[in-house]
A and B are shown apart, each in its own frame.
Chain A
Amino acid sequence: MTGLLILLAAAVVTVVIAVLMRWKNGRFAERPADDREVLTPEQIGAPLGERATLVQFSSAFCSPCRATRTLLTDIAGRLDGVVTVEIDAEAHLDLVRELHVMRTPTVLVLDADGAVSTRASGLPRRDQVLAALDRAGASPG
């Protein structure tokens, strides 16, 4: 009996996690935080994009990181002034702590000045990234 109850609980927990993940992945915050962090080229190890920079935190144990990198690289290639930078989270744990990065992939959208405009974790959809870039002032086209 105990086994069946635990089995049932496990099923419920599984569904809850699956739904949460679907909701959470690629969801960029609508409104930027009041105290926005500003990142410098030194911190991310690459020059900032003229209009926006997509910063992706990745790690070795991360299956959606590759798909995220492919998507961001494609988007940056199509838009003028938008660049993408990938950071190995494990090699930059100080930055990871400072920016409260909890999982990989995490994508930060920086505006032209390097201020964090918005962020999301998990594999995003193309339209989610484009909308986030739009809010950062780098509207497509």
Chain B
Amino acid sequence: MSQPTQVDPRGLRFVAGITAVVLALVLAIPSEPVRIVLLAVQVAVFAVAAFIGLQRSPYAIAFARLVRPRIGPPAALEDSRPPRFAQVVGLTFTAVALVLLLAGATTAALVATAYALVAAVLNAAIGLCLGCELYLALRRLAPAGA
């Protein structure tokens, strides 16, 4: 098996933590313009992490510049494919939330945001990748060989 890109697991937790804070603010601040701006920022960050690379996301850059120098190198590295998949899942939920918000369906938008928030908090707090947990269950539904 070829060696996929490896990432610092503490960086993933840090990124998930910031993501959780941003998404919690979207829910907590009852202002449409603020919500739209915060969600748009988060959608952009997810898109960079998912399509360009985990280490290119602004949160990951903040970790590499500000946090990592203070805590030293990690004990072990992690395969980047599960977290990258998680970024795609996060991107999907926040993008849907943003579209709903722009369309005026505020409650539905906030519920979609809440799904992404739950996943981000679980990732930050206990290192659980919710999207990954659901991956095989979804993959099973696809026809064999697809």
The closest CB in chain B to the CB of A4 belongs to B28
One of A13-21, A29-37, A48-56, A127-135 at the interface: A13-21
Q: Verify B27–A61 contact, CB threshold 8 A.
A: no
Near B by CB (< 8 A), chain A positions 88-117 give: 89-90, 93-94, 96-97, 101-104
Q: A40-87: which have CB < 8 Å to B? A: 57, 59-63, 66
B24 to A7, Cβ gap below 8 A? yes
A-B contact count (CB 8 A): 95
Known: A3-B28, A90-B139. A21 touches B114 (CB 8 A): no
Chain A interface residue count, Cβ-Cβ cutoff 8 angstroms: 32
**Residues of the B chain whose Cβ atoms lie less than 8 Å from the Cβ of A17:** 118, 122, 128, 130
Closest chain B residue to A18 by CB distance? Answer: B126
Main secondary structure of the interface of B (DSSP, over half): helix
With CB as the reference atom, state the residue of chain A lying closest to B111.
Answer: A6
- Say yes or no for B110: interface residue by CB 8 A criterion: yes
Contact B126 A10 (CB under 8 A): no
CA gap between A3 and B26 in the complex, in Å? 8
A63-B79 in contact (CB<8A): yes
Cα-based distance from A18 to B30 in the complex (angstroms):
28
Closest to A101 in B: B136
- Taking residues whose C-beta sits less than 8 angstroms from the other chain, chain B's interface range is 35 or more
Query: Is B128 a contact of A7 with CB atoms below 8 Å?
Result: no
Tell me whether B135 is interfacial, beta carbon within 8 Å: yes
Assess whether B132 is interfacial by the CB under 8 Å rule: yes
Contact status of A59 and B79, CB under 8 A, knowing A4-B28, A6-B110: no
| Beta-carbon contact of B27 and A97 below 8 Å | no
Closest to B125 in A: A18
Chain B, residues 73-87, CB within 8 Å of chain A (1/0): the string is 000001101110100
In contact, A97 and B140 (Cβ under 8 angstroms):
yes
Q: How far is the CA of A51 from the CA of B103 in the complex (A)?
A: 62
In contact, B117 and A3 (Cβ under 8 angstroms):
no
A61 & B129 in contact (Cβ 8 Å cutoff) = yes
Q: Which B93-146 residues have a C-beta within 8 angstroms of A?
A: 106-107, 110-111, 113-114, 117-118, 121-122, 125-133, 135-137, 139-140, 142, 144
Is the CB of B71 closer than 8 A to any CB of chain A?
Answer: no
Binding site for B on A (CB under 8 A): 1-4, 6-7, 9-11, 13-14, 17-18, 21-22, 57, 59-63, 66, 89-90, 93-94, 96-97, 101-104
16 chain-A/chain-B pairs, Cβ below 8 angstroms? A4-B28, A6-B110, A6-B111, A7-B28, A9-B114, A11-B121, A59-B139, A60-B82, A62-B132, A63-B82, A63-B83, A93-B139, A93-B144, A96-B136, A102-B140, A104-B135
The 6 A-B residue pairs with the shortest CB-CB distance in the complex, in nearest-first order: A7-B27, A10-B114, A3-B27, A61-B85, A61-B132, A61-B135
